Structure 1
Amino acid sequence: MFAALNDVRRRVGAFIGGFEAGLSSRRLKGFQPSRAHLNTLIAAAGPDITARARWLVRNNGYAANAIESWAGNVVGAGIKPSSLIKESETKTTIQKLWVDWTDEADAEGFTDFYGLQRRAAREVFIAGEVFFRFRPRRPQDGLTVPLQLQMLPSEMLPLNRNESVPGGNVIRQGIEFDAIGRRVAYHFLRRHPGDMTDFGMAGEMVRIPASEIVHVIDPVDAGQLRGVSRFAAGIVKLFLLDQYDDAELDRKKVAAMHALFITTPAPAEPLDAVEGRDENDERTIDLQPGQITMLEPGEEVQTSAPADVGQTYEPFQYRTLLQVSAALGVPYAYLSNDMLKANYSNSRLALLEFRRRIEAYQHAVIVWQLCRQVWARWMDTAAIAGALELPEYDRRRREYLACGWLPPKWDWVDPLKDARAEIEQIDAGLKSRTQALAERGYDAEQVDTEIAADKAREKSLGLTFGATPPAPEAQRPGDSEAATDAAATDTGQPA
């Protein structure tokens, strides 16, 4: 029945016309994309896409450069919090405790919290997602706040785990949902399926409540459950380009070798030259500088002349890398480190577009999904453990959790022009100093406190920095007589 309806629809579409993209014309006859939902496509191809993306990052220089550029621009030295609590002393205490805790945040001890942000940005770029598990610690562990984060790669949550569980819940791609579609748990493997150094039981599962898991993902479709690699649209071209480069490198290597071939009408007769034998018992002749070798009548020497690639290599590489950079969402110069084709105008245009994408990603993914959840859990743990004295925390929790997140500042393309434009916007009331400082990754109150402390220290030491007060203007002609007249009037004496 459905086949008949589809046939009728195609006939009607062909008769009416309209959108050429929806017709089955000669050019589009072979274009039959899948109508399956993205969850189905990820379940079928997700593990292979992730494995190939990781292989490219390990073995392909362009892929490695792209992901380092992405992580450096998204996170940099860290997206840092700025508490919005009005009590300055309480805010200072919270900020100091947070700075102390960031060094202890990683359960593996490899990096701090901002290093975990960078690793998260890398993982989401490669695999499309990453998981963090809250690990509460005991008071005797000696942490400033008894809480740490454990990073779990996407392979730890199997895509093929789909079943119903008692109580009406369902498990879809390793995530357990309740009757109204809320995430209630994640079913992780106890060990990485590809780690042969872990001697734990293969395939053993553990159920972890959703409140203990932070799922960082960059969703692209409505209803999407699991992530897909940003390399998905560029894997084929990157891999084939890598093979082409290897073949071209081998061709150049062979072309650089000086090879001679001697042809003779009587190959069975020995050559009248200095002969030798190689490891395969083949006849060879050693050539010496300035050597003259007499050949027998009929013999001739030919040199190898491999075909050259011509003038097509550079344009082909450039166009292919442009397509890869568009697929990855990374500017061509950031992908290839090729600055020869860049000038000020097109570099600035590319940077502005790239930074808009980065800012959207910082807010929607890193801040919203990771930073806010970690901050809330950290504040709750600090208040319960007594690391922070926060009166009426239960009632004022929303007020205490209020926080702004400051991404790393952008480096200016033209510092002088951009700084002048910033100052003019502040002077004209189009932007506040708080907003300008936040865009550079600084907290306005902290900056003002530091400025006041610097000025007080300079004054106590008799130092003067910055702009000097303007010198008094030179006395204009006539000012002297006016001053004399004013003095005479005050004293009653004639001028």
Structure 2
Amino acid sequence: MNWRQRIGAFIGGFDAGQHHRRLRGFHATRAHVNALISASGPDITARARWLVRNNGYAMNAVESWAANTVGDGIKPISKLADGARKEELQRLWLAWTDEADAEGLTDFYGLQRRAAREVFIAGEVFFRIRLRRAEDGLSVPVQVQMLPSEMLPLQKSGSARSGNPIRQGIEFDRVGRRVAYHFLRRHPGDPTDPGLVGELVRVPASEIIHVMDPVEGGQLRGVSKLAPAIVKLFLLDQYDDAELDRKKVAAMYAMFVTSPAPENPLAPLEDDEMLAGFEISPGQIVRLDPGEDVTVGQPADSGATYEPFQYRTLLQISAALGIPYPYLANDMVKGNFSNSRLALIEFRRRVSAWQHSVMVYQLCRPVFERWLDLAVLSKALVLPGYEVERPRMLAADWLPTKWDWVDPLKDANAEIAQIEAGLKSRTQAIAERGYDVEQVDREIAAERDRERALGLDFRRPGSPAQGVQAVTSEEENAGTEDTKTDNRPTTSPEEG
């Protein structure tokens, strides 16, 4: 026992820092998270991918996370003051999103969903900005290529030719800035790729977007969100398989025939003498030889503890993954309305924080900045003064997919009450639903004009919008009547 332990044992203090009998087997490492990831990261990622491919709960958790964090996509709304240029920018961005994927498998919002899945499974994902030629026919000559975490080897550490340090595949300059990434040319687990095994290529950091959720100071690489639940998911899967196999054996109605000892026990039985069991049909009468007895197999049942044990274990897995239990297990029976609503509120707060601190900050903004730079340089978009006012023209609001209301009528009435009380603006309310207020207002105005032209009105009687129009019409009529009947003498401006 060293002097710190002796002092701790003498003065007491934090029980968690003592070394008494109850904590004798608790040996916590003091290694930094980078050392732990370097040693265990590849195994954790491989096991996480295996579980997602083979375990229903793990697969459901990943899909739930991607659906809630990205959904239909986190979309930008430019803050350009010029309405015409803003609309032109938005149209060009929408056209480019279909061309964004360098592999041509999805659009930019599909890449967001794949990024959310990869960060959940592997803890990180990389995107490479690929510049294209004008003759490639893209609306803006740039695409994005997704690279899985295994492409950047954790064991790659040392010094570059320039003397810069390389840590876990990332090259830094002398002041700690990332200057390059040393990627493998082919995936280390894909023998179908004809590239050279183990060959590395240095890619400038300006071309790479590294998406990860850092949880500790100085962390370089990501770790799977499945890591705290991998052991329980794997053991629970084995337990479920054993229970299923036991029920399968019980349902087979196995019977065993006991016969008297044969005359020559060492002699092998003929094929027709070897009995695997009886096939029983309804109403069948079976005759046995003298001395034979039949015993029916009765495997033990799973008992009344199976369901509570499953539920409690899945709750622990749910807490470890940060996914609500109904989303993890697709079990909507155990929770009532109030409990489900509280769980959704907490989950949505976590998701919202992750959306803006990880997905928007690390992926969406860098891609949008590079896209707008190349859109102006290629003259696909004309923005006078862009070089001088670039930061202002890059400003945009990133709007996630709107949340579905648990009780639409109550939630809508509450939101209307907040707007009428001045606690929330229409702009904020519409943005929270994933739409641009200016576009919504233009669509509403166009619909009102079309309804008036056709003599239609689909608004709810007594709604605020209908009331405003009715008052306006009455005021206009009253003003017209006053103009017709007012015989008071007019006063010239000179007379005051």
Q: TM-score, normalised by structure 1?
A: 0.90
Give the 3-state SS of the residue equivalent to 2:171 in structure 1: strand
Partners of 2:417 and 2:345 lie apart in 1 by 20
1:298 is displaced (CA, Å) by 3.6
Tell me how far apart the structure 1 counterparts of residues 322 and 118 of structure 2 sit (CA, whole Å). 16
In the alignment, which residue of structure 2 is the partner of 1:258?
253
Q: 1:241 aligns with which of 214, 236, 245?
A: 236
Say if 2:470 is the partner of 1:440: no
| Aligned residue among 32, 38, 49 for 1:37 | 32
Whether 1:301 aligns to 2:294 is: yes
Aligned to 1:359: 352
Deviations 1:6-45 (A, max 9, x none): 7011011001101110000101011011100000000000
CA contact (8 A) 1:82 1:404 kept: yes
Q: Cα offset for 1:293?
A: 3.1
> What letter matches 1:326 in structure 2?
A
Q: Does 1:142 align with 2:137?
A: yes
Amino acid at match of 2:301: D
Contact 1:186 1:209 in 2 (8 A): yes
Residue 101 of structure 1 contacts residue 144 of structure 1 at CA under 8 Å; is this kept in 2?
Answer: yes
CA contact (8 A) 2:233 2:317 kept: yes
C-alpha separation between the residues in 2 aligned to 1:122 and 1:344?
Answer: 29
Q: Any idea what the Cα deviations from partners look like across 1:31-77, whole Å, max 9, x if unmatched?
A: 01110000000000000000000000000000000000000000000
Deviates more, 1:163-172 or 1:234-243: 163-172
Distance between the aligned counterparts of 1:121 and 1:283, measured in 2?
53
State the partner residue of 2:448.
455
Shift, 1:282, TM fit: 4.2
CA contact (8 A) 1:277 1:284 kept: no
Change (3 A) 1:223 1:286: closer
In the alignment, is residue 175 of structure 1 matched against residue 170 of structure 2? yes
Is 1:400 aligned with 2:393? yes
Cα deviations across residues 165-215 of structure 1 (Å, max 9, x unaligned)?
243411000000000000001110010000010011111111111010000
In 2: Cα distance, 1:405 partner to 1:268 partner: 87
Amino acid at match of 2:294: V
Partner AA of 1:185 in structure 2: A
Partner of 1:310: 303
Gaps of 5+ in 2: 265-269, 471-496
Equivalent position SS for 2:22? coil
Alignment of 1:57-206 (within 5 A): 57-206=52-201
CA distance in 2, matches of 1:286, 1:185: 70
Number of the residue aligned with 1:7: 2
The equivalent of 1:332 in structure 2 is 325
For 1:86 and 1:286, how far apart are their aligned partners in 2? 82
**Mapped partners of 1:299, 1:13: distance in 2:** 73
Aligned residue for 2:46? 51
Q: For 1:262 and 1:14, how far apart are their aligned partners in 2?
A: 67
Name which of 336, 346, 349 aligns with 2:342: 349
Equivalent position of 1:378 in the other structure: 371
CA–CA distance in structure 2, aligned partners of residues 139 and 362 of structure 1: 33
Matches within 5 A, 1:191-230: 191-230=186-225
Letter in 1 for 2:284: Q
* 1:489 counterpart residue number: none
Describe the SS at the equivalent of 1:198: coil
Determine helix, strand or coil for the equivalent of 1:27: helix
| Superposition deviation, residue 463 in structure 1 | 1.5
Where 1:234 maps in the other structure, the secondary structure is helix
Distance 1:221 1:355, change over 3 A: same
Give the whole-Å Cα distance in 1 for the aligned partners of 2:382 and 2:263: 99
Alignment of 1:388 with 2:381, yes or no, is yes
For residues 98-157 of structure 1, the C-alpha deviation after alignment (integer angstroms, 9 at most, x for no partner) is 000000000000000000000000000000000000000000000000000000000000
Aligned partner of residue 23 in structure 2, secondary structure: coil
Displacement of 1:462 in angstroms is: 1.8
Q: What letter matches 2:46 in structure 1? A: A
Unpaired segments of 5 or more residues in structure 1?
1-5, 270-275, 473-495
Structure 1 CA distance, aligned partners of 2:130 and 2:414? 47
State whether residues 46 and 228 of structure 1, in contact with CA within 8 Å, keep that contact through their aligned partners in structure 2: yes
| 8 Å contact from structure 2 (residues 255, 278) kept in 1 | no
The residue type equivalent to 2:344 in the other structure is L
The answer as to whether partners of 1:84 and 1:91 remain within 8 angstroms in 2 is: yes
Deviations for 1:272-321, whole angstroms, at most 9, x for unmatched residues? xxxx957x954655544433233344432211111112111111111111
Aligned length: 461
Q: Label 1:293 to 1:281 Cα distance change in 2 as closer, same or farther (>3 A).
A: closer
Contact 1:277 1:283 in 2 (8 A): no
Amino acid at match of 1:418: D
1 CA distance for matches of 2:289 and 2:382?
102
Against the structure 1 CA distance between its residues 171 and 459, is the aligned structure 2 distance closer, same or farther, given a 3 Å change threshold? same
For 1:185, what is the secondary structure of its paired residue? strand
One-letter amino acid matched to 1:389:
V
Distance 1:199 1:297 in 2: 71
**What amino acid is the match of 1:387?**
A
Residues 268 and 260 (structure 1), Cα distance of their counterparts in 2 relative to 1, 3 Å cut: farther
Q: How well do the aligned residues superpose, as a CA RMSD in angstroms?
A: 1.8
Return the letter of the residue paired with 1:175. Answer: I
| Superposition deviation, residue 454 in structure 1 | 0.9
CA distance in 2, matches of 1:375, 1:94: 11
Does the 8 A contact of 2:119 with 2:213 survive in 1? yes
Q: Supply the distance in 2 between the matched residues of 1:197 and 1:70 (Cα, whole angstroms).
A: 31
Identical positions, percent = 68
Contact 2:8 2:18 in 1 (8 A): yes
